[in-house]
């Protein structure tokens, strides 16, 4: 079993839809959770950084962490074609000084 699992997609949705992206993990020591967006052949761009369980909202993006289920989600409201990218989850047991473990990424296509 991989340490972090993520459905690779591709996931195709119509413009304006609510998108739900998910990751599961096996290491209960993970406490810091991140979502990155990566456009084709570009560097990953940090979208959300959260600690422990709960929700965090930033514009159209909401990150949810459920540590009891070892499950994290990223919701994108009013999705746009410009949201078409690969979304990577990442997690770490510490705030810093520790390498992050990345999921394999989910490819999202938002169709106009």
Partner 1 sequence: DSGVTQTPKHLITATGQRVTLRCSPRSGDLSVYWYQQSLDQGLQFLIQYYNGEERAKGNILERFSAQQFPDLHSELNLSSLELGDSALYFCASSVDSGRAQGEQFFGPGTRLTVL
Angstrom distance (rounded) from CA 19 to CA 81: 12
3-state secondary structure of 82: helix
Angstrom distance (rounded) from CA 35 to CA 86: 10
Considering the complex, what minimum distance in angstroms separates the CB of residue 78 from partner 1? 25
User: CB-wise, 14 or 43, nearer to partner 1?
Assistant: 43
**Alpha helices per DSSP H over the chain:** none
Write out the H or E segment, with its range, that includes residue 108: strand 106-111
User: CB-wise, 17 or 49, nearer to partner 1?
Assistant: 49
User: CB-wise, 17 or 102, nearer to partner 1?
Assistant: 102
Q: How many residues bind partner 1 (CB under 8 A)?
A: 24
The residues of the shown chain that bind partner 1, judged by CB under 8 A, are: 32, 34, 36, 41-46, 49, 88, 92, 94-105
């Amino acid at each position: 079993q991989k340490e972090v699992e993520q459905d690779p997609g591709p996931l195709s949705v119509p413009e304006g839809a609510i998108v739900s992206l998910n990751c599961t993990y096996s290491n209960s020591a993970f406490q810091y959770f991140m979502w990155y967006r990566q456009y084709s052949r570009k560097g990953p761009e940090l979208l959300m950084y959260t600690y422990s369980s709960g929700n965090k909202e930033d514009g159209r993006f909401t990150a949810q962490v459920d540590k009891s289920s070892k499950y994290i989600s990223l919701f994108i409201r009013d999705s746009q074609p410009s949201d078409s990218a690969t979304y990577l989850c990442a997690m770490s047991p510490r705030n810093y000084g520790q390498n992050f473990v990345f999921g394999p990424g989910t490819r999202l296509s938002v169709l106009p």
